[in-house]
């Protein structure tokens, strides 16, 4: 089923490319129409890999990755490491505008994408503690490290996803004694962070990034992303229901880089692209709602479902976790792994409860 849907979507994208063949054709235009097929193969690979992994192994791997990537990111404080870090950064240390270089980004190049993945690591840290996989001391250390990495990434969208995902976590575990304690702690941390932002201009560039948003909420990248959505609505309103095709050369040279996931799928591939993106959202929505309804919430499929939904629906306005070239494969691989766990472990239990 996954392969069949991927093939149909890619075939539809290919037809749109042929209809709107750009004058300045680039190789990227050709490869973009086959992305759904590639994503389908990666998703299926994740389902196959899940046969050899249990939930505890995956959680431990994610926790180890959080520690490594945050520590790796901290190398920006040591000038001797800059030549090495330049290999991983989207903006190098000697760039004319090297602001992004000093923001934490792990090995993913750009701090925005890193921030979204770090939110997953923070939520998995919570899950591990609730499942008694971590002592209180280890939890506080890992949770604090994750929060530190998130703040120093300067990823404003990721902070919003962190707040929303934390609220979902607390709402899904209302009867747990730990939930009350962490709800209070979470509120205090949030208030403290906001108070710090308003207290004065920081010399730390990642934190200064947040403060610039408070000074000019409509400027910078937010203005660019808002214009993308505006162009998308205009195109659909004008009857361009099949989009404009990939047309990467024209879009980049005329409007700049594509940021929004909705713009990527809707402007390039019209209703077909939005339908494909909507199907991905629907998959995680069904999985998350069923797990919540039947009260199976302290597990990896539920945590990943909530995180993925927030990234696809909310963060999709300003970012695209499915299209980040350094991490898209991780998203679909992890999606395949947790989906296989979901259908093998939880679907049979749903059927038992029905009867």
What is the 3-state secondary structure of 20-76? CCCCCCCHHHHHHCCHHHHHHHHHHHHHHHHHHCCHHHHHHHHHHHHHHHHHHHHHH
The pLDDT-based confidence of 116 (bands split at 50, 70, 90) is: very high
Looking at 59-73, 101-115, 299-313, which range is the least confident one? Answer: 101-115
pLDDT of amino acid 292: 92
pLDDT of amino acid 347: 87
pLDDT tens digits, one per residue of 157-203: 888 899 899 889 888 887 777 777 777 777 777 777 666 655 655 55
Tokens, residue 187: 């509120």
Name 55's Cβ contacts closer than 8 Å, sequence gap at least 6.
299, 300, 341
Q: Do the Cβ atoms of 68 and 104 come closer than 8 Å?
A: no
Q: Is the pLDDT of residue 319 over 90?
A: no
Return mean pLDDT, the chain. 83
Q: Over range 256-282, report the average pLDDT.
A: 87
pLDDT of amino acid 156: 80
What's the CA gap between 10 and 38, in Å, rounded? 9
- What percentage of the chain reaches a pLDDT higher than 90? 30
pLDDT tens digits, one per residue of 138-166: 998 999 899 888 888 878 888 889 989 98
The pLDDT-based confidence of 32 (bands split at 50, 70, 90) is: confident
Q: Do the Cβ atoms of 266 and 274 come closer than 8 Å?
A: yes
Q: How far is CA 333 from CA 40, 234, 327, 329, in A?
A: 9, 35, 10, 6
Q: Is the pLDDT of residue 123 over 90?
A: yes
**How far, in whole angstroms, is CA 146 from its chain's centroid?**
15
Q: How many other C-beta atoms lie within 10 A of the C-beta of residue 134?
A: 20
Q: Is the pLDDT of residue 80 over 60?
A: yes
pLDDT of amino acid 256: 76
What's the CA gap between 12 and 346, in Å, rounded? 34
Q: Over range 54-69, report the average pLDDT.
A: 94
Q: String of b and e for 165-181 (b: at least 16 CB within 10 Å)?
A: bbebbbebbeeeeebee
Q: Over range 276-281, report the average pLDDT.
A: 91
pLDDT tens digits, one per residue of 202-253: 556 556 655 565 555 444 566 777 788 888 888 888 888 888 888 777 778 7
Q: Do the Cβ atoms of 122 and 172 come closer than 8 Å?
A: no
> Which comes out higher in pLDDT, residue 108 or 206?
108
pLDDT of amino acid 216: 53
Q: Give me the residue label for tokens 């403290």.
A: 192
């Amino acid at each position: 089923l996954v392969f069949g849907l991927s093939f149909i979507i890619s075939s539809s994208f290919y037809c749109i490319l042929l209809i709107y063949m750009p004058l300045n054709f680039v190789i990227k235009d050709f490869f973009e129409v086959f992305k759904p097929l590639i994503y389908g193969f990666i998703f299926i690979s994740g389902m196959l890999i899940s046969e050899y992994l249990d939930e505890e192994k995956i959680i431990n791997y994610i926790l180890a990755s959080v520690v490594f990537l945050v520590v790796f990111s901290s190398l920006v404080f040591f000038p001797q490491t800059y030549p090495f870090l330049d290999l991983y950064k989207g903006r190098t240390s000697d760039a004319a505008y090297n602001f992004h270089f000093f923001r934490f980004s792990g090995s993913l190049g750009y701090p925005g994408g890193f921030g979204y993945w770090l939110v997953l690591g923070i939520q998995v840290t919570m899950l591990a503690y609730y499942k008694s996989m971590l002592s209180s001391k280890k939890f506080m250390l890992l949770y604090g490290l994750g929060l530190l990495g998130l703040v120093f990434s300067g990823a404003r969208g990721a902070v919003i996803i962190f707040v929303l995902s934390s609220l979902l976590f607390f709402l899904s575990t209302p009867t747990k004694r730990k939930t009350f304690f962490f709800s209070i702690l979470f509120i205090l941390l949030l208030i403290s962070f906001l108070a710090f932002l308003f207290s004065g201009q920081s010399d730390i560039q990642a934190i200064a990034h947040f403060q610039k948003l408070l000074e000019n909420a409509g400027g910078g990248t937010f203005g660019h992303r808002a214009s993308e959505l505006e162009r998308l609505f205009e195109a659909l309103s004008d009857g361009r229901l099949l989009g404009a095709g990939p047309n990467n050369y024209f879009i980049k040279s005329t409007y700049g880089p594509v940021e929004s996931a909705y713009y990527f799928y809707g402007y390039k591939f019209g209703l077909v692209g939005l339908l494909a993106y909507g199907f991905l959202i629907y998959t995680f929505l069904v999985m998350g709602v069923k797990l919540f309804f039947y009260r199976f919430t302290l597990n990896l499929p539920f945590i990943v479902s909530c995180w993925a939904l927030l990234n696809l629906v909310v963060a999709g306005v300003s970012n695209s976790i499915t299209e980040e070239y350094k991490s898209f494969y991780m998203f679909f691989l992890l999606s395949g792994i947790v989906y296989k766990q979901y259908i093998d472990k939880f679907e049979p239990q749903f059927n038992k409860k029905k009867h």
